[in-house]
Amino acid sequence: MAFRIAQISDTHLSAQHPEFTRNFDALAAHLRAAGPDLVVNTGDISAHGELAGDDVAFAREKMQSLGLDWLAIPGNHDVGNDPQCGGATPADAERLARWRSIMGDDFFCRDVPGWRLIGLDTLITGTDLPEVEAQFAFLEQALATAGGAKIALFLHKPLCEVTMAETEVTYWAVQPGPRRRILDLLAKADVGFVASGHVHQWQDRGVQEGLRQIWSPAVAFMVGDKWQEPMGTKPLGYLEHVLHEDGRHECRLVQPEGLTINDLGLMPGIYPMAA
């Protein structure tokens, strides 16, 4: 029987932002009825977790309220951003420790029939924290011991904006150095797809440069074209991944009823203009 994953992303939960909570609650009602085998939240689970623990704890409670099996990896609003991007809240030891004290590990490995699911914390990969090397060792080991299972990789930031060869430091994708290291490890594995969040845009690129890359839409808000260049499209919703034991995989966009299309550009004061 196929294994169904609901990949949700960018829920940006906070007791301070009822608009985002309302979207989550509409999604939650849909998910409870749909009953996926697993929910994976690909980060920015909280609105301001990089500043304090309250929103991460609030987000954890909301995820628990689903009554479903779930896993999560952090985004830049949970553990801070790549230091290379500048900004006042870089990923660091304190932010990582705060996430771990509330949520547990910031990476995961889960086996389901025919597949190994791996989630990574890409926000720390540009830091010099000792957890970076530990995570690369974890990834190497998880790939080496997959035993013929197909790999599904979940990240917050996509591996690249357009091409794996891009060399700029960018807000929207994994930084070039860590990207190269991840790609070198993936090259030896049988990777079914790489699924990410962060951009608040939906895109299923099919297979490019040997990897199927899929961007999940956000749950909380989109950013209008006036403020953010379109790369994919900007619905709100989630992705259903259907994993078959023989390695086949289908992915579809689901837009549950009751989600309000919040445009961050029209919501001043929540963030400086970045998602």
Return residues touching Fe ion (CB under 5 A): 10, 44, 75-76, 198, 275
3-state secondary structure of 218: strand
**DSSP code of residue 5:** E
Smallest gap, in angstroms, from Cβ of residue 201 to Fe ion? Answer: 11
Smallest gap, in angstroms, from Cβ of residue 53 to Fe ion? Answer: 18
Q: Nearest to Fe ion by Cβ — which residue?
A: 44
Tokens of 28: 């939650």
Smallest gap, in angstroms, from Cβ of residue 176 to Fe ion? Answer: 18
User: Which residue, 195 or 275, has its beta carbon nearer to Fe ion?
Assistant: 275
Measured CA to CA in angstroms, residue 273 lies from 44, 125, 228 at distances of 15, 24, 9
3-state secondary structure of 62: helix
The CA distance from 82 to 185, in Å, is 21
Smallest gap, in angstroms, from Cβ of residue 149 to Fe ion? Answer: 29
Smallest gap, in angstroms, from Cβ of residue 9 to Fe ion? Answer: 7
The CA distance from 161 to 171, in Å, is 10
Tokens of 100: 């771990």
User: Which residue, 116 or 157, has its beta carbon nearer to Fe ion?
Assistant: 157
- 3-state SS of 189-204 is CCEEEEEECCCCCEEE
User: Which residue, 173 or 189, has its beta carbon nearer to Fe ion?
Assistant: 173
Smallest gap, in angstroms, from Cβ of residue 268 to Fe ion? Answer: 17
User: Which residue, 76 or 122, has its beta carbon nearer to Fe ion?
Assistant: 76
User: Which residue, 135 or 201, has its beta carbon nearer to Fe ion?
Assistant: 201
Q: Is 61 exposed, middle or buried (0-12, 13-18, 19+ CB in 10 A)?
A: exposed
Smallest gap, in angstroms, from Cβ of residue 239 to Fe ion? Answer: 15
Q: Max CA-CA distance within the chain?
A: 49
Q: Which residues pair with 39 in a beta bridge?
A: 6, 70
The CA distance from 38 to 40, in Å, is 6
User: Which residue, 9 or 135, has its beta carbon nearer to Fe ion?
Assistant: 9
User: Which residue, 174 or 243, has its beta carbon nearer to Fe ion?
Assistant: 174
**3-8 and 38-41 beta bridge pairing:** parallel
